[in-house]
Chain A
Amino acid sequence: MLSSLLTSMPMDNDWISFDVVALGQNFWSATFDGLTFGSIYALVALGYTLVYGVLNLINFAHSEVFIIGCYAVFFTLSGLGFGPNAPHLSLASIVLNLLLALIIAMIASALTAFLVERVAYKPLRKRNAPRLVFLITAIGVSFTIQYIIRLIRGPNAEPAVTMFKPTPIFDVFGTIVDSQQLVIVVAAVIMMIATERFISKSRTGRGIRAVAQDPDTATLMGVNKERIIIITFVIGGILAGAAALFYVMKIPSGVQYTGGFVLGIKAFAAAVLGGIGNVRGALLGGLLLGLIGNYGQILLGNSQWTDVVAFVVLVLVLLVRPEGILGTSLGRSKA
């Protein structure tokens, strides 16, 4: 029966084809775009990585922390009168508007992360609940926030808001790098470096690493564990807020209640790829995943392949090198 089943299979292999020519032609633009998306993944991935490092928990609700930031950006910008078409503004006013949206998004996301921690995870921690209970709570919170958003804003995506038209800045290998890509990548990398510095140099950062290494000993040494956990969540939230602004800049019509979910899976895959719990790993993993996803999408000729490629990468990484490229420990990163 099996052989007849196989022979009767439709033998058209049209659904998957490798368009190497297209990839060759668009290689550099795919690279720059991939780095842009990668920076966004990296910022979100950092939130997963920090919480995972400290609590050993996949914070599924982090994707909702991110999407709340997106809504904050959307409301801020539409409140400022931006619409689908970018107005002509001076550089100074663009920068001011961007900063305002950035700060509001960061506050909204950080507040969400804080509330999720207090409302959902703290009672569980107090009770010393097992791991599975944490995970189920996390997914429940994520689900709940998504449907609260849906209840309020409806199932459809919000109308697009754009602040400025990407203008070409310079040429690399015959491909134009525009202002938007440059702003996103540079800003994201600066934030990642700042976070890295904060964690490796500051007193609070040392506390975070201590709790990640050994929470009980850290408490005995005078580290306030609860405070460190809150700070970790808030840092993750702030970075997710920044990612949210860049995401809305990159995909103006992507503000939807399900928007965080798929991006969250990709960001988590990025964190695992770089080595979960590792701050530099999140940056590396995010950029790599952005590139791989974009190359895969062009190679396979359909934007929906990005998610499939990201997923396959996640599984392959887990199969071959589960600790990720740079290794997994937040606690063991150098002082």
Chain B
Amino acid sequence: MSMTDGPTPLSSAKAAQSAANREGLSTAPGASIAGRKGKKPGSLGQRWNALSRQQQWSFLIIVVVLAYLLPVINPPILTTEPGNNFGLACFDMARFALIAVGLNVVIGYAGLLDLGYVAFFAVGAYVSAMLTSPDSAFLKIPYLWTIPVAMAVTMFFGVLLGIPTLRLRGDYLAIVTLGFGEIVRILATIIPAMKGQVGFQSVGHPPGTAADGNPIFTNSNGVPWYWLILTIIIIVLLLVGNLERSRVGRAWVAIREDEDAAEIMGVPTFKYKVWAFAIGASIGGLSGALFSGQVGFISNQRFDVYTSILFVAAVVLGGAGNKVGAIVGGALVSYIPLRFTAIAEYKYLIFGILLVLIMIFRSQGLFPARQKLLAYGRDAVNWMLKRDDGGTGAGTNRTAGTAQEKGAQA
């Protein structure tokens, strides 16, 4: 079957960018540099990799600081006001970004299609709500403690769902997760303890009071929540980034690229698929818990399967397998309907069409995934390049080496 043996999910064979990346992997470094230089000088990724480590870090710090200041600056063109409060909009964007980072682990790294991600999000939100809201009969614990509990519970559900389905080919997972997304909503309606449409009022929030004695974290003010979730995103990104570069990450990419080959090479594919699924689920639960705290009210109306497809659209739009892409994709999917309120009503339609168009015309998304994952990063690439050229012409080689690093940087 021709469609089953395509080697690289989510990347078009035509796409010059990823083709160049792969070329770099398969051929000798020297040869690919020549090809690379001729093809696409000065693409975004290359320019980024041409910077030194210090420049990259200082640039990142500026970006992070700007991200923290975003709701305070409230830039006039970007702002979603007067239609939507910008602080809340920022929180929503960050929430989608966190979800996309989590879903990206499942779809982007391991190549598993999870169409019921909203279910994990819902489980996290419900755990947080049921353990803090006065409406529930459960034990009450402080809000911040519900976050790890929510992550653990969703991870458990992820494993529970993953074990029967992940032994099989990926497409069964798609339909099972799609069903699971719907089932969680139905169960929330049927089970009295989950209170159906009535839901849970006044979900807890983190402690702390401002100077005037009012609590810092309120439902109407998105800014503290935004800062909280942004901090969490940074932590999650660091953790996920490390995973990506570890043995686990390499196993994921191997599974994504060719499961049979990975299995033959001794990668325990089932184990790592369950890992990816569980980690993705727990990040979904984390964002659910944060959402539940910020909104303060949880009922079964908030988690339909259609939201799941928006999540998939966020990952795919940004570029599956790319952390930056996931964040940008998630933020965009949330931002566009909030900013352009006239089209907000049609957001599902727009993102549905967009999903199909991206798949047909640019399946690698806005930020293509880097194909190469070298465990030791750019140092290894530099070392290889030096060896290749026999140590001569180190001056010219330095620039060539930095261009090559694009692929090595995961």
Interface set of A (CB-CB < 8 Å, partner B): 1, 4-5, 8-10, 12, 14-16, 55-58, 60, 120, 123-125, 127-137, 139-141, 143-144, 146-148, 150-151, 215-216, 261-262, 265, 268-269, 272, 302, 304-305, 307-308, 310-311, 314-316, 318-319, 322
Quick check: A143 and B6 within 8 Å, CB to CB? no
Measured between C-beta atoms, what is the minimum distance from A121 to chain B in Å? 9
Residue numbers in A under 8 Å from B12 (CB-CB): 127, 129
Most B-side CB within 10 Å, residue of A9, A148, A310, A314: A314
Residue numbers in A under 8 Å from B336 (CB-CB): none
Quick check: A308 and B187 within 8 Å, CB to CB? yes
Quick check: B113 and A132 within 8 Å, CB to CB? yes
Residue numbers in B under 8 Å from A16 (CB-CB): 191
Most B-side CB within 10 Å, residue of A129, A136, A140, A268: A136
- The range of chain B's interface size is 35 or more
Which of B137, B167, B171, B363 touches A129 (beta carbons < 8 Å)? B363
Residue numbers in A under 8 Å from B170 (CB-CB): 131-132, 135
CA distance in complex: A9, B305 (Å): 28
Residue numbers in B under 8 Å from A129 (CB-CB): 3, 6, 12, 359, 363
Let me know if B276 is at the binding interface, CB within 8 A: no
Most B-side CB within 10 Å, residue of A55, A58, A261, A316: A58
CA distance in complex: A5, B8 (Å): 46
Residue numbers in A under 8 Å from B171 (CB-CB): 56-58, 131, 135
Quick check: B139 and A143 within 8 Å, CB to CB? no
Quick check: B180 and A304 within 8 Å, CB to CB? no
Which of B6, B113, B138 touches A10 (beta carbons < 8 Å)? B138
Which of A130, A318, A322 touches B7 (beta carbons < 8 Å)? A130
CA distance in complex: A134, B2 (Å): 12
> Given A8-B139, A120-B360, A311-B179, are A144 and B4 neighbors across the interface (CB < 8 Å)?
no
Residue numbers in A under 8 Å from B14 (CB-CB): 127
Binary interface encoding of chain B residues 346-368 relative to chain A, with 1 for a CB under 8 A from any of its CBs, else 0: 10110011011001100100000
What does DSSP make chain A's interface, helix, strand, loop or mixed?
Answer: helix
> Given A10-B137, A318-B168, are A15 and B9 neighbors across the interface (CB < 8 Å)?
no
Quick check: B10 and A132 within 8 Å, CB to CB? yes
Quick check: B179 and A132 within 8 Å, CB to CB? no
CA distance in complex: A223, B293 (Å): 59
Top 6 A-B pairs, shortest CB-CB distance: A140-B355, A130-B6, A144-B352, A8-B139, A143-B352, A147-B349
Identify the closest chain A residue to B138 (Cβ): A8
Quick check: A56 and B1 within 8 Å, CB to CB? yes
Quick check: A136 and B176 within 8 Å, CB to CB? no
**7 CB < 8 A contacts A-B:** A12-B193, A129-B12, A133-B363, A147-B349, A151-B349, A307-B183, A314-B176
Quick check: B191 and A136 within 8 Å, CB to CB? no
Quick check: B183 and A136 within 8 Å, CB to CB? no
> Given A120-B360, A302-B190, are A128 and B164 neighbors across the interface (CB < 8 Å)?
no
Identify the closest chain B residue to A61 (Cβ): B356
Residue numbers in A under 8 Å from B82 (CB-CB): none
Let me know if B267 is at the binding interface, CB within 8 A: no
Let me know if B13 is at the binding interface, CB within 8 A: yes
Let me know if B309 is at the binding interface, CB within 8 A: yes
14 additional contacts, CB 8 Å, given A123-B360, A132-B170, A144-B352? A125-B2, A127-B13, A129-B363, A130-B7, A131-B3, A132-B10, A132-B113, A133-B359, A135-B174, A141-B356, A215-B2, A302-B190, A315-B165, A322-B168
Let me know if B151 is at the binding interface, CB within 8 A: no
